[in-house]
């Protein structure tokens, strides 16, 4: 890529295809991924698992299938359904709140509910189109979505934010806060079809205070763009928030200097989602801002290839660990970019 040429769409789609194929290789017989391995050595695995990253990875895979019109072979479709079912087995009904939540080690994390909603929303599309078999879930798919949305909405606070983590047994709120859970929850609710009117106040309060801009939250970028498109956030305040978040990313060189793939990729995700908003609502974003986003995103996408080979994204310089969320965030940025260039 030259300094003036955008990252090519065909190269972006190839990376998405290769990443999807590699992730399919990592799904085990129970639907659980090989969470992390050494580059080019799937058998050299590391311990640990993260259910939120399981869901985030599935969201990329399902989006790739749905947005690119792919028809996975029957074994691949069955593997994806198994992976959805693995998350489904972690859905529980707390006695102290409505609906279903995603449980991990006795805790309920808001981000897990949000990402599970995003996964099931995409799964619903794939199942309705006959692309995937219906996954095994504790309730029929539409009912699972509704129950997850009920729990997530029950965690809204008067200040527009959410409770982030609770103990399953007691319902007690834990002090842990994530810079990303609120954006994940808002995005999941919108993708699941929640009435945007139920989220207007939350978006108004959060965007007025610049929530997530300090951490350059890609999840808030997704949520804000979705909210503008669906009417949960008026155009004026929405554009003000999105341009402030985009400017914070475009004017920051520090994240690139870390020489790690995923911090760069997450910001590429944010910028490419903003570009998709510009495609969906032409003229909404300032022209100069959209051009700056495209230029910065294209530069990032070229840089991310320093840690890529054959569907694998590894951590960065000096660390060849490949992890499912590294693939998720990087590959999603190329998916968004491809969709932008071919809009």
For the record, the structure tokens of 78 come out as: 């069955």
User: d(Cα 2, Cα 236) in Å, to the nearest integer?
Assistant: 35
C-beta of residue 287 within 8 angstroms of C-beta of residue 320? no
CA of residue 295 relative to chain centroid, distance:
22
Q: Cα angle vertex 119, ends 113, 125, to 5°?
A: 135
Q: What is the pLDDT of residue 4?
A: 53
Residues 134-190 have pLDDT tens digits of: 999 999 999 999 999 999 999 999 999 999 999 999 999 999 999 999 999 999 999
For the record, the structure tokens of 43 come out as: 């058998």
Share of the chain above pLDDT 90, in %: 97
**Which pTM value belongs to this model?**
0.97
Q: What is the DSSP string of 97-144?
A: SSS-EEEETTEEEHHHHHHHHHHHHHHHHHHHTTSSPPPP-SS-HHHH
User: d(Cα 196, Cα 174) in Å, to the nearest integer?
Assistant: 28
With a cut of 50, say whether residue 1 has pLDDT above it.
Answer: no
Range name among 1-15, 31-45, 90-104, 317-331 with the lowest pLDDT average: 1-15
C-alpha Rg value of the chain to the nearest Å: 19
For the record, the structure tokens of 44 come out as: 């050299």
Determine how many CB atoms are found less than 10 A away from the CB of residue 335: 23
Residues 102-148 have pLDDT tens digits of: 999 999 999 999 999 999 999 999 999 999 999 999 999 999 999 99
With a cut of 60, say whether residue 195 has pLDDT above it.
Answer: yes
Of 189, 44, 225, 66, nearest to 116 (Cα)?
189
Say which residues have a Cβ less than 8 Å from residue 318's Cβ, sequence separation at least 6.
Answer: none
CATH of domain 9-341: 1.50.10.20
Determine how many CB atoms are found less than 10 A away from the CB of residue 279: 14
Q: What is the pLDDT of residue 287?
A: 86
User: d(Cα 296, Cα 292) in Å, to the nearest integer?
Assistant: 6
User: d(Cα 335, Cα 130) in Å, to the nearest integer?
Assistant: 22
What's the whole-number mean pLDDT along residues 219-246?
98
Q: What is the pLDDT of residue 211?
A: 98
Beta bridge partners of 22: none
Task: Provide the 3-class DSSP secondary structure of residue 220.
Answer: helix
User: d(Cα 80, Cα 264) in Å, to the nearest integer?
Assistant: 27
What does DSSP assign to residue 36? E
Residues 271-329 have pLDDT tens digits of: 999 999 999 999 999 989 999 999 999 999 999 999 999 999 999 999 999 999 999 99
* pLDDT averaged over every residue in the chain: 97
Of 201, 44, 187, nearest to 115 (Cα)?
187
Residues 55-73 have pLDDT tens digits of: 999 999 999 999 999 999 9
Report residue 47's pLDDT band, with 50, 70 and 90 as the boundaries: confident
């Amino acid at each position: 890529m030259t300094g003036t040429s955008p990252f090519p769409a065909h190269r972006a789609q190839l990376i998405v295809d290769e990443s999807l194929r590699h992730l399919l290789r990592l799904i085990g017989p129970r639907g659980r991924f090989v969470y992390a391995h050494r580059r080019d050595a799937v058998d050299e695995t590391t311990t640990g698992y993260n259910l939120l990253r399981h869901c985030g990875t599935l969201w990329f895979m399902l989006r790739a299938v749905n947005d690119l019109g792919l028809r996975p072979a029957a074994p691949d479709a069955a593997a994806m359904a198994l992976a959805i079912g693995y998350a489904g087995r972690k859905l529980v009904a707390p006695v102290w709140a409505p609906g279903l939540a995603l449980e991990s080690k006795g805790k309920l994390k808001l981000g897990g509910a949000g990402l599970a909603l995003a996964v099931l929303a995409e799964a619903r599309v794939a199942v309705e189109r006959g692309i995937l078999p219906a996954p095994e879930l504790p309730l029929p798919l539409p009912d699972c979505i509704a129950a997850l949305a009920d729990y997530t909405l029950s965690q809204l606070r008067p200040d527009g934010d959410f409770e982030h983590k609770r103990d399953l047994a007691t319902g007690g709120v834990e002090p842990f806060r994530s810079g990303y859970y609120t954006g994940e929850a808002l995005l999941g609710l919108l993708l699941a079809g929640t009435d945007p009117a139920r989220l207007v106040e939350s978006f108004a309060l959060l965007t007025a205070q610049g929530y997530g801009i300090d951490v350059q939250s890609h999840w808030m970028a997704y949520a804000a763009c979705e909210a503008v498109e669906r009417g949960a956030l008026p155009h004026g305040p929405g554009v003000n928030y999105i341009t402030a978040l985009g400017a914070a990313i475009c004017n920051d060189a520090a994240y690139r200097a870390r020489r790690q793939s995923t911090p760069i990729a997450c910001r590429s995700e944010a910028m490419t989602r903003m570009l998709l908003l510009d495609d969906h609502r032409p003229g909404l974003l300032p022209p100069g801002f959209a051009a700056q986003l495209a230029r910065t995103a294209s530069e990032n996408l070229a840089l991310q290839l320093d840690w890529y080979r054959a569907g694998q994204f590894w951590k960065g310089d000096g660390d060849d660990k490949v992890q499912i969320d590294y693939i998720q965030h990087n590959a999603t940025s190329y998916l968004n970019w491809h969709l932008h260039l071919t809009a």
